[in-house]
């Protein structure tokens, strides 16, 4: 495990460039094993999830190399093998190998995935989708066995709830199945559109992504002809927008898709942040006075659950009481006790999180723990705002999803380092 050490109190200024989206990347890498040719991705974020997915690929004799944001994957010599459970458990998205292996070999055996501990994260809708396509599902302790000896056949799948992961897994299993699959009540996140763009460019027939009805006509082969450029990470973007507003003297955030963040930027604007939004970048000027807001997390295009914690330090600066209701993960509260240790006035109860005005002079460095990635992001921003030294233990959670975060922050005039525990 690593720890992040922050000397707080510096004002930040300059430019930061956002990397490729974690939640696209972690679906694209498993999707690569559906190809009959080598594939290449660029603007790949340098995050732990990518390195762990590469370990999983290696176990199947799928060679990959990653340098300067370019990831090459050659799935042409893939073999069926036992997947390394430590790497599988290190991230959530390892469950995409269920859909991808099912699509490729018509069977898969995987241990349950890990990922952020943010309350219950069942995978019943993923399994329901696989069954609808003709797979049998059996579970044995922490292991899931999937088998479709007669192949996969397109079908109608109505998702009981809007799920990013289940929608992606259904796409991965259906893309090479026989016949047509219709996914209803599908999730509409931009990362799903990115995945479908990659697959369609290889010859897949996926229509309707970005709406709640996705139609997939199965194809026999997928062949990559070009490099796929991963979309910008909207959650990383939102994190830098928040920290720029909280302690910036003018920060330009480059490589942004503003349309993916409208629910978030509209809340920042409501708070009084005079964001200057351009086609692919956003300038955050120094902020004078902030108003309290109410936030309710929703599936896309609503306010993302992954952004409630990164916005929390900014809400603490606002005059009055801000309220967060996380409808996706009501138990996503791992940041609260840690932020209290740093002097923030924040409490949870009755299904909501209440953040009261905290003068930045009252925030002080402390020893805290990043219980999960976005809790870690809120501690990191608060540590930058606070006077003194903050040590964030379990910082691997942050490194799991924030591209070259120490380098990016220090270029903005922060004082941050990572050390082994
Ligand atoms: C790798 C990745 O892309 N992770 C994202 C993905 O996670 P993930 O794909 O795991 O999240 P889902 O969209 O599936 O979860 C949404 C809700 O549905 C519930 N549910 C989901 C599946 C299922 O089979 N049964 C079930 O009950 C979940 O408990 C949750 O309350 O979307 C989340 C919600 O936007 C984000 O926080 C994560 O960053
Ligand atoms: C919850 C998250 O990630 P994961 O689904 O990979 O655990 C996140 O990115 O905020």
CATH number, domain with residue 368? 3.65.10.10
Ligand 1 atom closest to 165 (CA): 9
179 within ligand 1 shell (Cβ under 6 A): no
Write out pLDDT tens, residues 293-334. Answer: 999 999 999 999 999 999 999 999 999 999 999 999 999 999
- Please check whether residues 30 and 75 belong to one and the same domain: yes
Mean pLDDT throughout 391-401?
97
Q: In the listed set 229, 263, 286, which residue is the last one of a domain according to the structure?
A: 229
Band (142; pLDDT cuts 50, 70, 90): confident
238's CB contacts (< 8 A; 6+ apart) are: 261, 264, 304, 307, 310, 311
User: Atom 32 in ligand 1: which residue has the minimum CA distance?
Assistant: 164
Residue 112, pLDDT score: 85
- Please check whether residues 265 and 218 belong to one and the same domain: no
Ligand 1 atom closest to 304 (CA): 35
Residue 120, pLDDT score: 81
Indicate if the pLDDT at residue 115 is higher than 90.
no
Q: In the listed set 187, 214, 229, which residue is the last one of a domain according to the structure?
A: 229
- Please check whether residues 222 and 79 belong to one and the same domain: yes
Indicate if the pLDDT at residue 151 is higher than 80.
yes
Q: Where are the alpha helices (DSSP H) in 21-134?
A: 22-31, 48-59, 85-89, 96-105, 124-132
- By C-alpha distance, which of 249, 284, 252 is closest to 268? 284
Preceding peptide of 31 cis, ω within 30°: no
Q: Range of 337's domain?
A: 2-19+232-420
Annotated binding site for UDP-N-acetyl-alpha-D-glucosamine: 92, 121-125, 306, 328
161 within ligand 1 shell (Cβ under 6 A): yes
Residue 114, pLDDT score: 77
Residue 121, pLDDT score: 87
124 within ligand 1 shell (Cβ under 6 A): yes
* Number of residues that this document lists for the chain: 421
Q: 52: which DSSP letter?
A: H
- Please check whether residues 222 and 82 belong to one and the same domain: yes
List b or e across 325-363, with b for residues whose CB sees 16 or more CB atoms inside 10 angstroms: bbebbbebbbbbebbebbbbebebeeeebbbebbebeeb
User: Atom 30 in ligand 1: which residue has the minimum CA distance?
Assistant: 328
User: Atom 10 in ligand 2: which residue has the minimum CA distance?
Assistant: 306
Task: Please report, to the nearest 10 degrees, the dihedral formed by the alpha carbons of residues 300, 303, 307, 311 taken in order.
Answer: 160
- By C-alpha distance, which of 228, 226, 222, 205 is closest to 104? 222
Q: Which of 21, 22, 49, 328 to mutate to test the pocket of ligand 1 (most atoms within 8 A of CB)?
A: 328
Band (155; pLDDT cuts 50, 70, 90): very high
Q: In the listed set 229, 254, 284, which residue is the last one of a domain according to the structure?
A: 229
Distance 361 CA to ligand 2 centre (A): 32
Residue 304, pLDDT score: 98
Indicate if the pLDDT at residue 117 is higher than 80.
no
Distance 362 CA to ligand 2 centre (A): 30
Q: Kindly report the average pLDDT of the chain as a whole number.
A: 97
Lowest average pLDDT, out of 114-118, 348-352, 413-417, goes to 114-118
Band (258; pLDDT cuts 50, 70, 90): very high
- Please check whether residues 256 and 188 belong to one and the same domain: no
Q: Which of 92, 238, 374 to mutate to test the pocket of ligand 2 (most atoms within 8 A of CB)?
A: 92
- Please check whether residues 266 and 219 belong to one and the same domain: no
DSSP letters, 218-264, are --S-----SPEEPPB-HHHHHHHHHHHHHHEEEEEEES--GGGGHHH
Helix orientation angle between 190-201 and 22-31, rounded to the nearest 10 degrees? 30
Strands in 346-349's sheet, in edge-to-edge order, are: 294-297, 322-326, 352-355, 346-349
- Please check whether residues 255 and 378 belong to one and the same domain: yes
Question: 241: which 2 tokens?
Answer: 């927008």
User: Atom 6 in ligand 2: which residue has the minimum CA distance?
Assistant: 92
Residue 202, pLDDT score: 98
- Please check whether residues 247 and 378 belong to one and the same domain: yes
- Please check whether residues 330 and 345 belong to one and the same domain: yes
Residues 212 and 299: their CA atoms lie apart, in Å, by: 11
24 within ligand 1 shell (Cβ under 6 A): no
Percent of the chain at pLDDT exceeding 90: 93
Q: Which of 118, 126, 405 to mutate to test the pocket of ligand 2 (most atoms within 8 A of CB)?
A: 118
Indicate if the pLDDT at residue 116 is higher than 90.
no
Ligand nearest to the CA of 376: 2
Residue 190, pLDDT score: 98
- Please check whether residues 167 and 36 belong to one and the same domain: yes
Report helix, strand and coil shares of the chain as percent, to nearest 5: 35, 25, 40
Indicate if the pLDDT at residue 46 is higher than 80.
yes
Ligand nearest to the CA of 91: 2
Distance 187 CA to ligand 1 centre (A): 10
Residues with catalytic annotation?
A: 116
pTM, rounded to two decimals:
0.98
Residue 272, pLDDT score: 98
- Within 6 A (CB) of ligand 2 lie 91-93, 115-116, 118, 306, 373-374, 401
List b or e across 371-409, with b for residues whose CB sees 16 or more CB atoms inside 10 angstroms: bbbbbbbbbbbbbbbbeeebbbbbbbbbbbbbbebbebb
Distance 100 CA to ligand 2 centre (A): 20
**Local structure of 165: helix, strand or coil:** helix
Distance 194 CA to ligand 1 centre (A): 17
**Local structure of 420: helix, strand or coil:** strand
Q: Tell me if 136 sits within 8 A of 92, measured CB to CB.
A: no
- Please check whether residues 90 and 169 belong to one and the same domain: yes
Phi, psi of 405 (to 5 degrees): -65, -35
Indicate if the pLDDT at residue 141 is higher than 90.
no
Mean pLDDT throughout 222-251?
98
Distance 235 CA to ligand 2 centre (A): 10
Number of domains in the chain: 2
Residues 255 and 232: their CA atoms lie apart, in Å, by: 6
- Please check whether residues 215 and 246 belong to one and the same domain: no
Instruction: Please give the biggest Cα pair distance in the chain.
Output: 66
Ligand 1 atom closest to 189 (CA): 35
């Amino acid at each position: 495990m690593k720890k992040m050490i922050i000397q707080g109190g510096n004002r930040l200024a300059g430019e930061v460039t956002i990397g490729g989206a974690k939640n696209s990347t972690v679906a694209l890498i498993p999707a690569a094993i559906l190809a009959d040719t080598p594939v290449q991705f660029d603007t790949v974020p340098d995050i732990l999830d990518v390195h762990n997915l590469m370990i999983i690929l290696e176990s199947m004799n799928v060679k990959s190399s990653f340098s300067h944001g370019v990831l090459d994957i050659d799935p042409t010599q893939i073999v069926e093998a036992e997947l390394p459970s430590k790497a599988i458990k290190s991230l959530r998205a390892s469950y995409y190998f269920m859909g991808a292996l099912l699509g490729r070999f018509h069977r898969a055996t995987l241990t349950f995935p890990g990922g952020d501990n943010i309350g219950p994260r069942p995978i019943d809708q993923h399994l329901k989708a696989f069954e609808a396509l003709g797979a049998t599902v059996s579970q044995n302790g922490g292991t899931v066995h999937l088998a479709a000896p007669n192949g996969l056949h397109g079908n109608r799948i109505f998702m009981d709830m809007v799920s990013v992961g289940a929608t992606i897994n259904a796409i991965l299993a259906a893309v090479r199945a026989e016949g047509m699959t219709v996914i209803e009540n599908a999730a509409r996140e931009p990362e799903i559109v990115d995945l479908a763009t990659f697959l369609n460019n290889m010859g897949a027939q996926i229509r309707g992504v970005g709406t709640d009805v996705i139609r997939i006509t199965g194809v026999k082969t997928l062949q990559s002809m070009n490099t796929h450029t991963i979309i910008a990470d909207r959650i990383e973007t939102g994190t830098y927008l928040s920290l720029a507003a909280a302690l910036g003297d003018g920060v330009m955030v480059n490589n942004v898709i503003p349309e993916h963040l409208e629910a978030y930027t509209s809340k920042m604007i409501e708070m009084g942040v005079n964001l200057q939004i351009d086609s692919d970048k956003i300038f955050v000027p120094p902020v004078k006075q902030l108003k309290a807001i109410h936030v309710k997390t929703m599936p896309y295009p609503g306010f993302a659950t992954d952004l409630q914690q990164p916005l929390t330090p900014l809400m603490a600066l606002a005059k009055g009481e801000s309220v967060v209701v996380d409808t996706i993960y009501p138990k996503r509260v791992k940041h609260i006790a840690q932020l209290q240790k740093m002097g923030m006035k924040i409490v949870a109860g009755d299904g909501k999180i209440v953040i009261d005005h905290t003068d930045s002079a009252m925030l002080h460095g402390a020893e805290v723990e990043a219980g999960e990635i976005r809790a870690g992001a809120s501690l990191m921003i608060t540590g930058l705002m606070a006077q003194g030294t903050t040590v964030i233990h379990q910082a691997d959670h942050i490194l799991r999803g924030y591209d070259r975060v120490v380098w990016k922050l220090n270029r903005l005039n922060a004082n941050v380092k990572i050390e082994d525990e």
